[in-house]
Amino acid sequence: MSSRARAQEPIEHGTVRGWRQHNRRHEPACLPCIEAKRTDNNAPRPPASTSKLGWNEGRTTREITLSTQNSPVVALCTVDGCGTEATKPRPAPHMVTVSVRGSSEPPRWYCPGRCRAIGKALADIRAIPTTREGTA
């Protein structure tokens, strides 16, 4: 019967390949291999390809991050009456009401679909108790 186990080749210390060999063997990397990996990670990268720049409208990752970091996570709806309290009459014929029992969020009118889902999530979050019952 033949043994199918491959003999392990020696680790090439001080190289990125050596760092990978350490990882594949599930053993801690030596300092020269860690330094080689750190140097490789910090090496300048070639510029983005034209197709990648075309997809991002010519912007780099940093520019995309800066342009979106101050924008709201959920864009505001522009439909009149969306998000108004349901104590008032229905603002538009297609509006639906969202209410969750035990929520501090009052029932509100929303557009069906995305706005309704956002309103439901908000009401669900506001229904979560903020203090434990039975503790002071």
Give the tens place of pLDDT for each residue, 114-125: 899 999 999 999
Rounded to an integer, what distance in angstroms lies between the CA atom of residue 24 and that of residue 33?
A: 13
pLDDT tens profile 43-96: 888 776 666 666 666 666 665 555 555 666 677 888 899 999 999 889 989 999
Overall average pLDDT of the 5-16 stretch = 86
89-93, 110-114, 132-136 — which is least confidently predicted?
A: 132-136
Cβ contacts of residue 63 below 8 Å, gap of 6+?
none
Q: 83 and 109 in contact (C-beta within 8 Å)?
A: yes
In the chain, what is the straight-line distance between the N-terminal and C-terminal CA atoms, in Å?
Answer: 71
Residue 35 is predicted with a pLDDT of 94
Residue 44 is predicted with a pLDDT of 85
Cβ contacts of residue 79 below 8 Å, gap of 6+?
92, 111, 115
Mean pLDDT value across the chain: 82
Rounded to an integer, what distance in angstroms lies between the CA atom of residue 16 and that of residue 1?
A: 36
